[in-house]
Structure 1
Amino acid sequence: MTCTAVVLCAMGLLGGTASQAYADPKPGDARDAKPGAERGADSAEASLKRLQDVRKKIDALYRKAERATDAYNGAKEQVELQQKEIVKLARNIDRTQQRLAALKRQAGALASAQYRGGGMPSEAKLMLGADSGAFLDDATLVRKAQQAARGVITQLSRTKGELEDYSQAATDRWERLEAHRKKKESARRDIKKKIDAAKKLESRLAAKEKDRLKKLEDEEAFRTQQKWLDSGVLKEISNKASRFGKKAVAYATSQIGKDYVWGAEGPDTFDCSGLTLRAWQAGGTTIPRTSQEQWRQLHRVAIKDMRPGDLIIYFSDASHVGMYLGDGAIVHAPRPGRQVTITGAGSMPILGVVRPDADAPERDLGHR
């Protein structure tokens, strides 16, 4: 009897739900035009589409921020370089000024000596002098003195020219320094604007939606990585790390879990190129600061020839970089709000691969 009651109750509920779902909708009540399950599916689909749109907007903002970060890092590097050049020029100017002062004193002493000699013409001295031999000795000394005076004047003129050149170079450096400072500040504002906008978008999401957003990112990365692997690229990659590359890989992987912060070079936080910079310093090689300069200056290798420790440059503007670990994986600092992590080497559009230790002697390239 209890079972029968439960079955009847269930049938009643199903029947009621069905009759309510398929009854003619009341005027103006369009929500009841679809079955509950279908409305739920539509709602879930709309929610997913909204999240995908949010993810695309956030990705676009962080990509723009990453490009601005590269501009910021490049300007920062140039500021530091110009400051060093200005210090060097200032030292040269100081040394040249001291040399110029010494030459002026020497020229003054020569002028005084000439004045004390009365400036008498050589012919008059020969005619009035009793000892022609002494005169000739004096004439030889005079010629040497004149030659010395001309040498001092030449040095004086050349030193003045050097001083003017150094001063002009210092002025040029200051102008470049100010230009790079302005560029750096502009990039900093641009980065903050983009990151703040991305964070604002994320802050509007509920906790469950944020989790779903992270899953969508991971799913997209997985699909891209799988497509890259399906191309058969790993079948061609079999190289081993150099001993320098091993050290760089060891450093980079030991930073896993540390936060991404734009412009950071460690030791507690990193941006993408800050991580590769420090990793390769640990490997004994100094490389450019930004991913764009790493792409421009370092030796390029084909994907099939890459080995652990090589740097993979991403996106058409070379705005992101990761370090290849082998087996189709990289370690990288992804973006603000994320930590240094391992992901698929093909999870982003690859621009190319560069090798920091390409110039190292072959005998130093150890193998695993």
Structure 2
Amino acid sequence: MASHRKLRTPSSPMGIRTPALATAALTSVALLSQSANAAPAAEPRPSLDEVQKKVDDLYQQAETATEKYNGAKEKTTKQRKRVDTLLDDVAERTQKLNEAREELGEFASAQYRTGASTPGTATMLLADDPQDYFDQTQLMDRLTSRQKQAVDDYTTQQAATTKKRQEAAESLETLTKTQSTLKSSKAEVQRKLAEARELLSQLTAEEKARLAEIERKKQEEARRKAEELARQQAAAEEERQRQEQQAQQDSTSTSGSGSTAGTGTSTSTSTSKGEKALAFAEAQTGKPYVWGATGPDSYDCSGLTQAAWKAAGVTLPRTTWDQVNAGTTVSVANAQPGDLIFFYDDISHVGIYKGDGMMVHAPKPGAYVREESIYYMPIHSVVRPA
């Protein structure tokens, strides 16, 4: 009888005999391997509101850096002038010092030729501090009053020249530091603007259209607030005029005069400085914003306000941080044409009040000098320069 041997299932390399279990194990290993090698999930794309806020923040940061740049540039200009003046002064003093040294040398040579002093005397007269030598009694007795005066003059000029050289060296060091600040501020402006442009470049045409709509609604809300302020200011002005008229009538009644001639307030035909500044700013409408620019072809925000008030005969500092202290602070409700309107907690932007809640300003890179509601940005304060 033939022997029957039971067939055996070949063992897997891992010792698993059941095909189903082997398949499941291999599948699990493959899935684990794929999970381990899979790329991390991409970060969710920011919403348009987030993009707009980020861009607005970058533009504000760029303006802050621009004001730092403006301040450093102004200091650099002043310090360079001071250094040049000091170096010119040092050169002039050095020339006089050399002339005084030559005069002392002539005295020493004359004394040597006449035998009035030894050759060593000439050497001491030509030294940096000949006064020490002349303090010797035997030599001072031989000096004329003119020679003594020459020594005194030389010593005084030498001390003054040394002091001026030290001042020039310190000014040069300060200038170098300010130039470094200027360079870093410029780089910061460029970096912030590049980041903003990069964010905007990543938007699709549809997203850009939606972003423009968000901007339009923001402008609309700011204009609505401006119109409300205009109504409040108009009402306040009307009430002021009513009270003035009532006061005039009461005065006329008390005096018993039937004539009101000469009781009215005369209107000045001259234009106020604020109106002159505003007129200048309005004339710049349409010119591009360029950071660091002060005109006449382009402006940044503080460059425009500085130029406008200069046209009115008033000199303002260069930066927003200094301009905010260059006048009298008034309330928004009492703002008049020409007043400076400052924005943000860090006072990094400024415009010129036009009236009815509107201003003229140089907004930001890529934009042009234009009229806009003062409520487009958070108001810091209002200042009247004159």
Letter in 2 for 1:184: L
Provide the TM-score with structure 2 as the length reference.
Answer: 0.67
Please give the secondary structure, in 2, of the residue aligned with 1:65. helix
Change (3 A) 1:52 1:203: same
Q: How does 1:16-31 map to 2 (within 5 A)?
A: none
SS at match of 1:153: helix
Asked if the contact 1:331/1:342 (under 8 Å) is kept, the reply is: yes
Contact map agreement 2:275 2:337 (CA 8 A) in 1: yes
**Structure 2 regions of 5+ residues with no counterpart?**
1-44, 118-139, 241-267
Partner of 2:164: 166
SS at 1:269's partner residue? Answer: coil
Counterpart code for 1:336: P
Amino acid at match of 1:79: T
Q: CA RMSD in A?
A: 3.1
Structure with bigger helix share is 1
User: 5+ unaligned residues in a row in structure 1: which ranges?
Assistant: 1-46, 121-141, 359-368
Candidates 189, 207, 215, aligned match of 1:191 = 189
* Superposed displacement of residue 50, structure 1: 2.0
The question of whether the paired residues in 1 share the 8 Å contact of 2:309 and 2:316 is answered with yes
Equivalent-residue separation in structure 1 for 2:346 and 2:312 (angstroms): 26
Q: 1:267 to 1:99 in 2, by over 3 A?
A: same
Whichever of the two has the greater Rg, that structure is 2
Tell me what 2:174 maps to.
Answer: 176
Cα distance, 1:161 vs structure 2: 1.7
Change (3 A) 1:335 1:178: same
Q: Distance in 2 between matches of 1:154 and 1:119?
A: 21
Counterpart Cα distance in 2 of 1:99 and 1:306: 59
Structure 1 segment 114-193 matched on structure 2, within 5 A? 114-116=111-113, 118-119=115-116, 146-193=144-191
Report the counterpart of residue 307 of structure 1 in structure 2: 336
- Displacement, 1:226? 4.4
What displacement does 1:146 show? 3.4
Aligned partners of 2:226 and 2:357 also within 8 Å: no
Give me the whole-angstrom Cα distance separating, in 1, the residues matched to 2:81 and 2:348: 27
Counterparts in 2 of 1:55 and 1:156: CA distance versus 1, 3 Å: same
1:178 aligned partner, one-letter code: T
Corresponding residue for residue 295 of structure 2? 266
Could you tell me which residue of structure 2 aligns to residue 214 of structure 1? Answer: 212
**1:96 aligns with one of 82, 93, 97:** 93
Do the aligned partners of residues 149 and 193 (structure 1) sit closer, same or farther apart at CA in structure 2, a change above 3 Å counting?
A: same
Residues 253-311 of structure 1, C-alpha deviations (whole Å, 9 max, x = no match) = 11112221211222222111111122222222332111112124x12321255422221
Distance 1:82 1:154, change over 3 A: same
2: CA distance, partners of 1:111 / 1:72: 57
Identify the residue that residue 38 of structure 2 maps to in structure 1: none
- Contact 1:221-1:348 at 8 Å conserved across structures: no
Which range moves more in the overlay, 144-153 or 251-260? 144-153
Aligned to 2:357: 328
Instruction: Tell me how many residue pairs correspond in the alignment.
Output: 289
Q: Deviations over 1:206-260 (max 9, x none)?
A: 3443343234234334435645765786369869995333332222111112221
Matched residue, 2:312: 283
Contact 1:234/1:328, CA 8 A, preserved across alignment: no
| Structure 2 counterpart of 1:51, from 48, 52, 74 | 48
Tell me the residue number matched to 2:8: none
Q: What amino acid is aligned across from residue 56 of structure 1 in structure 2?
A: K
Shift of 1:82: 1.4
Identity between Structure 1 and Structure 2 (%): 37
- Give deviations 1:119-158, integer Å, cap 9, x for gaps: 49xxxxxxxxxxxxxxxxxxxxx98963333322222122
Distance 1:56 1:270, change over 3 A: same
CA distance in 2, matches of 1:180, 1:285: 27
Q: 1:69-111 CA distances to partner (integer Å, 9 max, x unpaired)?
A: 1111111111111111111111101111111112112222333
